[in-house]
Amino acid sequence: MLEVKDATLHYGAAQALRGVSLTAQPAKITCVLGRNGVGKTSLMRSIVGHHRLTSGSVAFEGKALDRSAAYDRARSGIAFVPQGREIFPLLSVKENLESGYAPLKRAERYVPEHVYELFPVLKQMLGRRGGDLSGGQQQQLAIGRALVMRPKLLVLDEPTEGIQPSIIKDIGRAIRYLRDQFGIGIVLVEQYLDFCRELADEVNIMDRGLIVHTGPAEDLDKAEVKKYLTV
């Protein structure tokens, strides 16, 4: 579904990605782990079109995306839940969800019922401003907004960051449901090791702008893998 090949990215003279290659499959959860500052968010933003690669390529369903803008990638079926959520604080929950209509045809511009089934609090708070929600509720809203787009691939950048444990469990159940019931491919950036271990079909570990390990979630218990995740 997704294939990143030899991705290199610079911010001026600083190099964030150093020849990264990554694949993601339909109905699979691909987790990207690593310490702070190793290039995980840069990789995600390159996939969704927020940063243009210096060299290398990104392909989705066999189609090269290197010249595609972020909105074209959204229309092709890639949805992004950024680190920090980035909801619209002055818009209502309903309006935030409706902002996901942008890449859809007119007949598809409604909120799918499974969004409210996964996150019932959103239906209860449709009239409330996004900025008045708790951090966990805002995270559910950000994921709900992405699901409104009917994505084939969902890119999640640290969805558990700063979230209370009960909502982390809700988010985990939602991710598993989306994979199993809708066949959505999911790329999940995480630092919360147990969350990744429970969900991931495949794990990629980044260090200093490189993928240094790829394998099943069970590998996370190996000493040679753990060394990349300890400070």
Q: In sequence order, what are the residues at sequence separation of 6 or more whose Cβ sits closer than 8 angstroms to the Cβ of residue 125?
A: 93, 133, 137
Q: What mean pLDDT, rounded, does the chain reach?
A: 94
Residue 132 φ then ψ, to 5°: -90, -5
pLDDT at 17 over 80: yes
Per residue in 127-181, pLDDT (tens digit) is: 999 999 999 999 999 999 999 999 999 999 999 988 989 899 999 999 999 999 9
Give me the pLDDT at residue 222, please.
Answer: 81
Give me the pLDDT at residue 100, please.
Answer: 94
Give me the pLDDT at residue 194, please.
Answer: 86
Give me the pLDDT at residue 187, please.
Answer: 97
Comparing 77 with 217, the larger pLDDT belongs to 77
Average pLDDT (102-111) is 93
Residue 222 φ then ψ, to 5°: -85, 140
Average pLDDT (116-124) is 96
Give me the pLDDT at residue 54, please.
Answer: 95
pTM for the full predicted model: 0.93
- Ordered DSSP codes for the chain: -EEEEEEEEEETTEEEEEEEEEEE-TT-EEEEE--TTSSHHHHHHHHHTSS--SEEEEEETTEE-TT--HHHHHHHTEEEE-TT----TTSBHHHHHHGGGTTS-GGG-S--HHHHHH-HHHHHTTTSBGGGS-HHHHHHHHHHHHHHT--SEEEEE-TTTT--HHHHHHHHHHHHHHHHHH--EEEEEES-HHHHHHH-SEEEEEETTEEEEEE-GGGGGSHHHHTTT--
Confidence band for 19, pLDDT divided at 50, 70 and 90 = very high
Per residue in 24-62, pLDDT (tens digit) is: 999 999 999 998 899 999 999 999 999 999 999 999 999
CA distance 74 to 164: 29
Give me the pLDDT at residue 22, please.
Answer: 96
Give me the pLDDT at residue 231, please.
Answer: 61
